[in-house]
Chains A and B, each alone.
Chain A
């Protein structure tokens, strides 16, 4: 905090001035030079989102483009090619089938229709194959296919032309067949009638109803008989010719035609010969015409036999052409199949490529989606949630806590944007507020401190009073303890005073008697009075001596119990020690009259005088000795009769300090208490017997004197306290300063 210079300014004024003139002290975060506002941050986030979306769109676009490309390759190339190929295959079978239909066409009309259809189908096939050839890269196949197609076309052309001709023939033959039947019927009717008439004439000699019967020699003449035979021959041979022609019409084996033709020729020859003879007698132009027609129907160029032969030949050729056409078609089909397989491979490849493009696109889109979503989440969570909201919430919390009066927590300033500005402003505000609050607080604290100081002073006063009281009480308590000893000590001088006073009174009486006697003159006055007076003087000196002694005891008692501080003076600590041994011993004995102990003294005669506060050191000795005596008494009570209480005191003057030992053979101090024995309120005595403050006071006193105390003890055997005092009093010892800590 370096705005001590502003501590005096009005915080409100400072806040009002803040935005305009930020001081270096309240600008917490100036270290970042690059500043990125929320707007830019949002724009960057949005830009990132847009970029992700754009890239997703791009990926989708390229995937779709790929798929569409493959798809269109499939639809524009593979599928149409495949479809064309399949169509071509189908079409070729349609064409071959058409050829078959062409062959089996029963009429010219049907043939025409079929031929037309076939031409269309052929054209369609050609178109298909040429399309296929132009579109596909399979040149070899398409060339072969076209070759086969050309071959097929040749065969088809042959079949078509042949079949057309054959149908014409067939139709002619049909007509001839009908004509044959008709001619035959006419011939038969004619001949049958002639035969009937001739036979009847041979029997009855009658040709017509109105005729007269011919004589027998006439009707049975050779000429009549020959006529009858010729009629019969004519009938038979004509019938035979008709039959042969009928057979020829039904014949399907071309090889059988020549013998049939032979027989027909002979039949024709026969009936012609017979008719020649007949016609010479009864010319019947109708029958003749019919017979000639019969002959013509058989043998003429457009007769049944040549036509039938041609028809059968054509049929054979057509069958052969059909077989070849089928072969060509099969080859074509095989090539188309190969093509289909290859196109299909292409289609499968395209389809696979499209699928793989779709898969890749899907994967990339998925990744982009995950990226977008996680980016948005991250943006939302990190930027908005963690970065913005948290900071705003932090600011709000900070404001709330400021409103609640807590200005101690500094506002967290992070980032470098508008929120940071807000945080900075808030921090500035907080610091001003804090400053103001602190100023108020200092004043308040000062006041409180004053009040507390006052209270403390009062308390201290009370404490001092209480301590004084406690010390006084302690002194009184020890005085009380000493009372018996003191009384005993005082009793001796008082006894001496009393006794010497009585003796003195008797001596005064003697003087008076002497004086009486002297008055009365009886004796020698001066001689007699002078020894008495010297005795009296002696006595009075004794009284004075013992009175002084008593006075000394009382004074020392008074000193011991006096509330005020003791004075540093030179003192004979050996004597002081002895005095307090006596006092303590007698004090114990006052309580327990049967208490006895053996006192051993080993005092250093070279001890000399030490500058101490005698009444404090006396208190030290009193305490230690009293403790020893009480310990001995306690052990005497608890042990059986064999115990001989013993107290040993010793003193030594060493080079730079003096030592005073007080040792008893009492119960000793338990191990557990040894460490704590010098702490206040720790005692081994029964409740009511000691305050526990004794050794604590001793420590204080000795510390004041620059000395110390050491404990050496063995439980059940002894306790030895060694008081160590420096030969010279401490330098800073102010004679005025109390030796005993308050």
Chain B
């Protein structure tokens, strides 16, 4: 009587182990390669962001794959275009989860993330390094599957206000924000930041998303005579605002948030771009003193020799490296939970000099905010301070 159950137990155990291995194998998608999903704006006014993120991710994956992948697994990116529209982002996220991607990575935009992330959370699919600093994604308890890489919009806006007040002693700050969740997140951040400095927000103007209808907003802003205008928007309306302001000889300090798409903004502004500040959440893409940037440049050149290094593609590259590092830490045959846990439990994730730290209640890896400015040649340069015009 004692032998039969043990045999049965062993058989059951064997079956369970086998099924577990099978399930894990199926989860790791073919064992030889691991697919990551991306829903981003590959078309439309924000397409530079989505394309940049995608190129960066591809560069990182290619680099990793060139070195044999992670634990023998090649990393594959499956990107879908949502044109920065939430409805499309929802459909794409569902489709990607349907295709059993290991994780979603490099989503672009706050409203799109706001729509897509709950779907990923419900499905238990990791939502890694979205290209947004929205605060709601920083709630580790409500969103256990989300791992952010970049600093938040609050941190960026706080840095802006700090720089404006500390470096220039600016008292009158206005804001142009895109009339959506992204713009409002920035607005909230700026309001909190100026409140910390006991300053009023002298002008608040908005524009409809996906339009360049900023001229009336410009008139509204000019009326309050701000010394500096924080722009929470896309590069086209931001550029329109700055150019029209310059045309009207209205020249406050313009400071943009990272999401604006720095290279596109500079390109759009041309000569009018000089002295326009942009806060960044990744290191300067041409600063090869950082090993990670050097690797990034190599990797980027490997996938697309035509492209020039940029903040967005660097962020994409870093996101790709973060994913690879998470997989490496999770060990062979990683599970989604194991992958997330590996990153959360790692003391410091060092991506060749770009340091990330996660914790049980902290799902944001980097708190770094960098300040850049467009110089008279229409090129970005890294600065520590805002200097008077």
Contact = CB atoms under 8 A, between A and B. Distances in A.
A203 B211 contact: no
B211 A189 contact: yes
B216 interface: yes
Contact of B213 (A196, A203, A206): A196
B247 A200 contact: no
A209 interface: yes
Given A188-B211, A192-B208, A199-B216, 13 more contacts: A185-B210, A188-B208, A189-B208, A189-B211, A192-B213, A196-B213, A196-B214, A197-B215, A200-B215, A200-B244, A203-B219, A206-B247, A209-B244
Contacts, number: 37
A739 interface: no
A209 B243 contact: yes
A207 to B, nearest CB: 10
B228 interface: no
A209 B218 contact: no
A32 to B, nearest CB: 75
A195 interface: yes
Most buried by B among A189, A196, A203, A206: A196
23 contacts: A188-B208, A188-B211, A189-B211, A189-B213, A192-B208, A193-B211, A193-B212, A195-B216, A196-B211, A196-B215, A196-B216, A197-B213, A197-B215, A199-B216, A200-B215, A200-B216, A200-B218, A200-B219, A203-B219, A204-B219, A209-B243, A209-B244, A209-B247
Contacts of A185: 210
A189 B213 CA distance: 8
B142 interface: no
A197 B244 CA distance: 11
Which bracket fits the contact residues of A?
10 to 19
Which bracket fits the contact residues of B?
10 to 19
Across the A-B interface, the 4 shortest Cβ-Cβ residue pairs:
A196-B213, A200-B215, A192-B213, A199-B216
Given A195-B213, A196-B216, A204 B248 contact: yes
B216 A189 contact: no
A193 B213 contact: yes
Contacts of B219: 199-200, 203-204
Contacts of B247: 206, 209
Interface string A394-406: 0000000000000
B195 to A, nearest CB: 30
A186 to B, nearest CB: 10
Interface string B325-357: 000000000000000000000000000000000
A544 to B, nearest CB: 149
Nearest to B219: A203
Most buried by B among A193, A195, A206: A193
B180 to A, nearest CB: 13
A203 B218 CA distance: 11
B273 to A, nearest CB: 14
Most buried by A among B215, B219, B244: B215
A185 B211 CA distance: 10
A192 B217 CA distance: 12
Given A200-B216, A200-B219, A203-B219, A192 B211 contact: yes
A197 B240 CA distance: 12
Nearest to B246: A209
B187 to A, nearest CB: 20
Nearest to A203: B219
Interface string B112-144: 000000000000000000000000000000000
Interface in A159-201: 185, 188-189, 192-193, 195-197, 199-200
A196 B216 CA distance: 6
Contacts of A204: 219, 248
Contacts of A197: 213, 215
A203 B219 CA distance: 8
Contacts of A203: 219
A199 B217 CA distance: 10
A195 B215 CA distance: 10
A189 B209 CA distance: 9
Most buried by B among A195, A206, A209: A209
Contacts of B214: 196
Nearest to A200: B215
Interface string A192-223: 11011101100110100100000000000000
A195 to B, nearest CB: 7
Interface in B234-292: 243-244, 247-248
Contacts of A195: 213, 216
A188 B179 CA distance: 14
Contacts of B218: 200
